[in-house]
Amino acid sequence: MNVLSQAQLTYLTELRHDLHRQPEVSGDEVQTAARVVLELKKLGADQIWEGLGGAGVAAEFRGLEEGPTVLFRCELDGLPITEVSDLPYKSEITGKGHLCGHDGHMCMVLGLGMALAKRPARGRVILLFQPAEETGFGAQAVIDDPRWTKIKPDYAFAYHNVPGHALGEIGLRSGPANCASRGMQINFEGKSSHAGAPEDGISPAPAIAQLIQSFPALSSGKVSDPDFGLSTLTHVNIGEAAFGIAPGQGELRVTLRSMTDDRMAALIDGAEKLLDEARGPLQTDVSWHDVFHAVTNSDKAAKIAGIAAEKAGAMIREMNHPMRWSEDFGRFGQDGAEACLLFLGAGKTHPQLHNPDYDFPDSLLAIGPAVFLEITRQILGKTTG
């Protein structure tokens, strides 16, 4: 399966550890991007675009003849979570950590870049290092960049590692792959009053209490059902931490999740109607955060990925239902590419994503480039040179 030498894999492992020590969160990935650019220059990329949609970086590796454009995407950002580990390369930045594996994703894509020293027979390969995936804004920001017209792919592929699945196993499915999600923040403005005369104020408590009970009823079905929807209350705050004041302000947050974007539209409509019914005399302000569209794998791209994984000697698992968690990779499919997100097993007992003790398994650094290189060969022909 290895398409890289042991020396190259050792280098990638050391590079991942360096990236792991210095995580940067969404929107602040400047130093991470600079290191990626340095590595891409070493690899002899034919063209490099910097500052895409923020800190994003893309590199072009041209084939020998004209042909399709195939994009492989990874993420630059870490998380605002404190790492808890005894690793010699643990995060050196307080309150920040690469606890989703994006350091490993970057190194797998750079590993593909190493293999592309032998260029594809035709077309071109784009390696995209995308900013701000964790907030859901990065993919669209890259697509909205005026330079995207020079990069826009015919095919797009990406990995996400998945703890709980066998190490090195490739999970695949056509159709829905990751759920849509978004955070709804509601701020309530009423009028505070003395706790001895609450009737002289306008408290948000009754409206919030009603919504706490009614919002979960928006949920329906299992994640394998087309009408799957999930409404999860995540935060509530009312008034001041005092005994003498009846509250006049409040805040409620809920995360909406669905298999499809159409179902998400229905969830949003339902949530807004419940708010209309509950608000009474209160003034309310609604804002939306961490907006992720559903990831839908195209049949064509999923088939190519399956053939490539088999030829690369990877274990393959056909997935029966999409992941509940969200990913903004779906934007590339919505932009016209034949797109597929692959799920790379991180180990059945591996710590879960976003946990303070998570760390990307270095053994995956050999598997990722091998499957990606075979995808390249399936679409663009065997590498030469």
Examine residue 315 and state whether it is found in any structural domain, yes or no.
Answer: yes
385: in domain: no
Are 161 and 39 members of one domain? yes
Q: Residues with Cβ < 8 Å from 278, sequence gap 6 or more?
A: 206, 207, 210, 211, 214
Do 249 and 173 fall within a single domain?
no
Residues 146 and 74 in one domain: yes
Range of the domain at 47: 6-178+294-380
Q: Are residues 320 and 364 in the same domain?
A: yes
- Domain for residue 286, yes or no? yes
User: Whole-angstrom Cα distance, residue 170 to residue 306?
Assistant: 9
Claim to verify: residue 210 and residue 236 sit in the same structural domain = yes
Instruction: Indicate whether 126 belongs to any domain.
Output: yes
Q: Do 169 and 302 reside in the same domain of the chain?
A: yes
Kindly state whether residues 343 and 286 are assigned to the same domain: no
172 and 214 fall within a common domain: no
Rounded Cα distance, 359 and 343, in Å: 16
Domain CATH code at residue 209: 3.30.70.360
Query: Is there a single domain that holds both residue 129 and residue 15?
Result: yes
Residue 21: in which H helix or E strand, if any? helix 6-21
Is the residue at 1 inside a domain? no
E strand or H helix at 107: helix 102-115
The answer to whether residues 134 and 43 belong to one domain is yes
Residue 22, amino acid:
Q
Tokens 């409620």 belong to which residue?
Answer: 252
What's the rounded Cα separation, in Å, for the pair 259 and 195?
Answer: 45
Judge whether 336 lies within some domain. Answer: yes
Domain match, 114 and 230 both: no
CA torsion 367-372-373-378 (nearest 10°) is 130
| Contact yes or no for 271/287 (Cβ under 8 A) | no
Nearest to 93 by CA among 2, 189, 199, 20: 20
Picking from 292, 321, 336, the residue at the C-terminal end of a domain is 292
Number of structural domains (the chain) is 2
Q: Which residue has the tokens 């990626």?
A: 36
**DSSP label of 351:** P
* Last residue of one domain, picked from the residues 243, 260, 292: 292
The angle subtended at Cα 380 by Cα 379 and Cα 385, nearest 5°, is 145
**Is 279 among the domain residues?**
yes
State the Cα–Cα distance between residues 107 and 140, nearest whole angstrom.
Answer: 23
Measured in degrees and rounded to the nearest 5, phi and psi for residue 142 equal -65, -45
No. of helices (H) and no. of strands (E), the chain: 9, 16
CATH of the domain at 365: 3.40.630.10
Q: Residue 340 domain-assigned?
A: yes
- Beta-strand runs (E) in 77-228: 122-130, 155-162, 170-172, 175-178, 180-189, 193-194
pLDDT tens digits in sequence order for the chain, 385 residues long: 689 999 999 999 999 999 999 999 999 999 999 999 999 999 999 999 999 999 999 999 999 899 999 999 999 999 999 999 999 999 999 999 999 999 999 999 999 999 999 999 999 999 999 999 999 999 999 999 999 999 999 999 999 999 999 999 999 999 999 999 999 999 999 999 999 999 999 999 999 999 999 999 999 998 888 889 999 999 999 999 999 999 999 999 999 999 999 999 999 999 999 999 999 999 999 999 999 999 999 999 999 999 999 999 999 999 988 999 999 999 999 999 999 999 999 999 999 999 999 999 999 999 999 999 999 999 999 876 5
184 close to 286: Cβ distance less than 8 angstroms: yes
Same domain as 298, residue 269: no
